Chains A and B, each alone.
Chain A
Amino acid sequence: MSEIKNKKILVIEVVEDDPSLRKVLRDKFTVEGFSVLEAGDGEEGLAIAFRERPDLIVLDILMPKMDGLTMMKKLRKENDWGKKVPIILLTNLTGDDEKINQAITENEPAYYIVKSNWKINDLIEKVRERLNRV
């Protein structure tokens, strides 16, 4: 358990100009003992990801500059680490969105959750479960 607690989580979450979801995610992950890195858009996120190599990335889809799906693709192409880092996509879209489903299968290990239908505690569970598997 203590090993997991020291894992680095990169939270890339910006919805329009509203940083409040990013803040709540940062606080929750911190409370749960993770060390958290933050980014406000895909471009910034990609740079931090390659520099810090986090153990898992929580990624928003709709973002300025570079959207989440594009960032995921670039990450997977760049190097071995980028190919394997687990990604949890956060979305407002419902699951039958063709683009997301396709992106998930093409970019494993990747998951998506519809934000409003998930409890933040369940998201933490999902992150833990995923990190335990590595």
Chain B
Amino acid sequence: MSKKVVIPKFSDVVSRLKFLVKEKESLRHDLENVNRATQNVLEDLQSEKEKLVKEKAKVEAIMASIGDGVISIGPDKRIVVMNKTAEKLLGWETKEAIGKLYDEVIFLEDKKGTFILPEERPLAKAFAGSITTTTTTSALYLLSKNKIKFPVAITVSPVILDNKIIGAVEVFRDITKEQEIDKAKSEFVSLASHQLRTPLTTVSWYTEMILNGDVGIITPEQKKYLEEIYQGNRRMIDLVNTLLDVSRIEMGTFKVEPKKTDIIMLSESVLNEQRPKIEQKKLEIVEKFNRDIPTFLTDPRLLRIVFQNLLANAVEYTPPKGKIEFFISLQNKKTILIKVSDTGYGIPKNQQDKIFMKLFRADNIREKATNGTGLGLYIAKSVVLNLGGEIWFESKENKGTTFYVTLPFTTNL
């Protein structure tokens, strides 16, 4: 076998070499491009990173500068964020507080200084998914780390990410000023109402004397007119009394003075006050009194206010020929249960949660009677709570309403 050696042509070699050189050039060029691209990416990354850091700092600055206290809690109820105002209000430094349990940092009390248990706090409701806002009237007090107590308004809402609650955020502020203004308002109402009593008494007593025939005989026609004046004046006096009750509730001057009270006698007396109207409307009254209830300790004057309001409402808001049941019993020798039910207009379902609110009147009632104040049930509820009891109701529009009141049955102090 003979070997055949092919000697390439010089020109071919040259062109091959040229090709290779070109190839190398192109590779180097590509490499340079890649390099440059990488460089660019890195630069972009860097600037994005810088932007992110800036953004984060901005969000943090916004958070820190919010004029209300803000704290955020993780799913384990540990504090993850706290702003400057919160620091100031709570007396905790952010770096100390972060990682601590919410309940280790936030201490809430009510007006009387009773500690509010964790499960009753607004935060608990946020983890159940709802937003809670407390206002100037709900009177919650925060205790700072150095035991400074101040009134707060709080809004707590759940933090939701991908449809899951991952924590809660609480915004709160000091409402000392608002409370002062509110107090000034109550004091003004109180002062004005007291001042109104003198001229009202003057009209009442002079009219009464004329009606009584003390200053001469009056004609039947004059008597009718004077009676209108007398009744109108009576209504004004009642209104002033209602306003005073409200201002006493709001100024916290409602003093409970427990006395041995015969609840049945008290009920009969309130019922008697309503008789004229009951007869006028031909209402049927069913008294279901457990008559052997012994006297017990409660404030009869305050209880009278509750009965007056519940009965007056039942009478006012039940159409003629309706039925009112008045039920009082002693349960397990521990609790007095009072029930006032009527076959009246009822409370619309969508307004039932507002019925004890000050000045609130349900829509269906506003159309029927214009002279209500929206204060009766607000007063009744405050009074019942002051007496250590509870009040609630069941109602169906155009079927009727039943109010329930419980009172503690105590016979000695």
Contact = CB atoms under 8 A, between A and B. Distances in A.
A28 B194 CA distance: 24
A15 interface: yes
B209 A120 contact: yes
Interface stretch (A39-47, A63-71, A111-119, A125-133): A111-119
B241 interface: yes
B188 interface: no
Nearest to B198: A15
A18 B195 CA distance: 12
Given A28-B214, A96-B248, A96-B255, A116 B197 contact: yes
Given A98-B255, A116-B240, A121-B212, A93 B194 contact: yes
Contact of B209 (A28, A92, A95, A98): A28
Contact of B237 (A28, A98, A117): A117
Contacts of B257: 96
Contacts of A121: 208, 212
Q: From DSSP, what is the main secondary structure of chain B's interface residues?
A: helix
A18 to B, nearest CB: 7
Contacts of A28: 205, 209, 214
Interface in A15-32: 15-16, 18, 20-21, 24-25, 27-28, 31
Interface residues of A, number: 23
A96 B254 contact: yes
Contacts, number: 60
Judged by DSSP, the binding face of A is helix
A96 B253 CA distance: 8
B211 to A, nearest CB: 10
B224 interface: no
B202 interface: yes
Interface in B195-216: 195, 197-202, 204-206, 208-209, 212, 214-215
B194 A92 contact: yes
Given A116-B237, A119-B208, A24 B253 contact: no
A27 B209 contact: yes
B71 interface: no
Contacts of A20: 202, 206
Contacts of B301: 95
Contacts of B197: 92, 114-116
Interface of A: 15-16, 18, 20-21, 24-25, 27-28, 31, 92-96, 98, 114-117, 119-121
13 contacts: A16-B198, A20-B202, A21-B198, A24-B206, A24-B209, A28-B214, A92-B195, A92-B198, A95-B301, A116-B197, A116-B204, A116-B237, A120-B208
